[in-house]
Structure 1
Amino acid sequence: MQYQIFIQSQKDNFIASVVGLPNVIVEANTEEEAISKAKSALQAQLATGKFVTIEVNPQEISHQETTQMKYAGIFADDPTFDDFMDKLAAIRKESNATIDE
């Protein structure tokens, strides 16, 4: 298999990381050494684990609610909501005026 390695040149050294594997990051004095260390680190990581392929049903995902989305629109039919928002805006404006002083 082939993997991409992202190499960053720092002041005194090089940092190499394997793209897509955030746990594989190394530091070295030269670019070549960084590549070699990244390869060794990747081989060590692959020796202790494996890649598996899973299938996800898109219909199952669309029916799941996120925490925030289950509250979306709960005030749509509340006749006092606009008054609440106006009062909140006034409080924020007053608070910002106090901070600016």
Structure 2
Amino acid sequence: MASVVGIPNVMVEANTEEEAISKVKFALQAQLATGKFVTIEVNSKQIPHQETTQMKYAGIFANDPTFDDFMEKLATIRKESNTTIDE
């Protein structure tokens, strides 16, 4: 079997590697001969902005005066948990 990466509908079967490569080249040429390249203009201002889940929370503790204390407590809990596991 041979296929073209990125073009899932171009796949062939053959008895040998050389034959498969030859067939897949022919299949790709046929696909490209019947296809058409077009340019599509996209107005990025009309596309709604979607935040990734992680970025939604970026910086939410920037002005929280208790954040450093929280992180120290979390580190202590993790250290104690790791010590318990190791024993």
Show the counterpart of 1:74.
60
RMSD, matched Cα: 3.7
TM-score computed with the length of structure 1 as normaliser: 0.53
Q: Unmatched 5+ residue regions in structure 1? A: 1-14
Q: Unmatched 5+ residue regions in structure 2? A: none
Show the counterpart of 1:35.
21
Question: Alignment length, in residue pairs?
Answer: 85
Runs of 4+ deviating beyond 6 Å: none
Name the structure where helix makes up a greater proportion of residues.
2
Percent identity for Structure 1 against Structure 2: 85
Find the structure with the greater CA-based Rg.
2
**Distance change (3 Å), C-alpha of 1:79 and 1:18:** same
Show the counterpart of 2:80.
94
Quick check: 79-88 or 22-31, which moved more?
Answer: 22-31
Show the counterpart of 1:85.
71
